[in-house]
Amino acid sequence: MDERRALMGAIIENPDEDTPRLVFADWLQEHGDAHDRARAEFIRLQVEAARLPKGDKKRTKLEGSAKKLANEHHGAWLAPLAAFVHQISDDANWTDDRSHYDGLFERGLLKELIVEAAKFLQAKYQQVFPDALAAVGLETLSFYTPARRVGELPGSPALRWVSRMECPAVGDAAFEAFGTSPHLAHITAFEFGEAKISDAGLKAFARTAGTARLRKFAVTTASPRESTKARFTAAGVLALLSSPRLPALTALGVGAGAAERFGAAEFLADPRLSKLTELTFGVRGPLADVIACPHLVNLRSLRLDVTAVTEADTDALLASPTFAKLTELLLDSFGPLPPGTKKKLQSRFGNNLWLRDRAS
C-alpha cells in the first residue's frame, strides 16, 4: 500500500478523529499537485470550523474560505468518481448551484455517496471503485435500492474505503456476511433500513461479528405489509449491547413500529442501555416511559417517536438527573404539542432541538 492510501486508510478507520485528516493534509501539501494543495487547505479549514459552535463568527469565516476552495477544485477532487458524481448526496438536497459544493464534504472528506446496489456490483465498477474511493475519501456509502444479490455486497474490496454504510432490505444471511466480511472489519457505523432481520439474525451477528470498531448500529423493520416471520424484537437488539465482539457500540437506532410487539418495556428496563451515548428509538409509545428509564444516564443524543408530548413530560425530562448529560433532542410527536413546549426545551437544548408535530 502506498503512503497516500495508508494515510487515507487511517482516516477511514478513525472517522471521528481530526489528527489523521490533518496528517493527510500535510502530506498533500508536500507531495501533491495544485488541486491536492487546495484540498489540504480545505481539510484544515473544515476541521477547524467543525470545532467551533454553529453561528460562531470565526466558523462562518472559515466555512466561507472552504466554500471558495470547493467551488474551484471540486471537479478534480471528485474526478475518480465521475461515473457516480450525480449520485452524491448533500443531505438529500442536491443542487447544481456552485455555492453548495462545499456542503458535499465533511471535515475534508466526501460526506455521502448514494449508489444503486446492482450497479455497484457490476464488474466494471468493482474494478475501479477501490482506487476511486481510496483517492477521494468517503464517509458514508449508501445503497438506495434493494439488490437481489445483496449477499454479495460484503465481499466487495471497495468497502475497505468507507467508514459508514447504509443498506436496505437485508435479511439474516446477508446481515451476518456484513459482520464477518474482512473488508468491513474497520467499519464504524451500519444502518439497515426496511430490514428483514430476525432476533436469530441479530444474535448470530452478536456472536460472530468481526466489526470491533462498530460504534453505531441502526436497524428499521420492513414494512408491515412484508412477512412478519423475520421481525426483530428487544431481545435481539439487546444481544448486540452485551456482545464482547462489539465493545465500541454506544450509538443505537431502532425503528420497529408497535411498542408491544417490539417489547419496549423489556428494552427500557435493561441496564445494558447505560452503554449508550446516542439513542434513536422509533418505537412509538408514551414519552413518559422513556423518561422513567433509569439506565440512559450517559445519553448525549436522544431521538424519539412518541404518541404525544405532554407538559408534564417536558417538565419531567428537564428535571430528570438521568438525562443530565443530554445535549441533543429530537421529538417526533404524533399528538399535538402543548403550548410553551418548544420554548421550555429550547432553553435547555438551543439549536440542538428538533420538534415535529404530526398532528398539525
Task: Please give the domain boundaries of the chain with CATH numbers for all domains.
Answer: 1-86 (no CATH), 87-357 (3.80.10.10)
Q: Is the pLDDT of residue 93 over 60?
A: no
Q: Is the pLDDT of residue 257 over 80?
A: no
Q: Is the pLDDT of residue 56 over 70?
A: yes
- Classify 52 as helix, strand or coil: coil
Average pLDDT, rounded, for the chain: 90
Q: What is the residue-wise DSSP string for 161-173? A: GEEEEEEES-BHH
User: pLDDT for 113-142, tens place per residue?
Assistant: 988 888 889 999 899 999 999 999 999 999
Q: By mean pLDDT, which of 31-40, 72-81, 90-99, 271-280 is the weakest?
A: 90-99
Confidence of residue 147 (pLDDT cuts 50, 70, 90): low
55 vs 204, higher pLDDT: 204
User: pLDDT for 187-196, tens place per residue?
Assistant: 999 999 989 9
Radius of gyration of the chain (CA): 21
Q: Hey, what's the cell of 141?
A: 456509502
Any idea what the Cα angle at residue 90 is, between residues 96 and 111, rounded to 5°?
Answer: 125
Q: Is 38 exposed, middle or buried (0-12, 13-18, 19+ CB in 10 A)?
A: buried
- Tell how strand 138-143 and strand 109-115 pair up: parallel
- The rounded distance, in Å, linking the Cα atoms of 114 and 143 is 6
Q: Hey, what's the cell of 155?
A: 465481499
Confidence of residue 150 (pLDDT cuts 50, 70, 90): confident
Residue-level pLDDT at 87: 54
Residue-level pLDDT at 256: 83
Mean pLDDT of 143-167: 88
User: pLDDT for 316-346, tens place per residue?
Assistant: 999 999 999 999 999 999 888 899 999 999 9
Residue-level pLDDT at 354: 94
H or E segment at 255?
Answer: strand 251-258
Residue-level pLDDT at 97: 43
Mean pLDDT of 79-93: 62
Q: Hey, what's the cell of 160?
A: 475497505
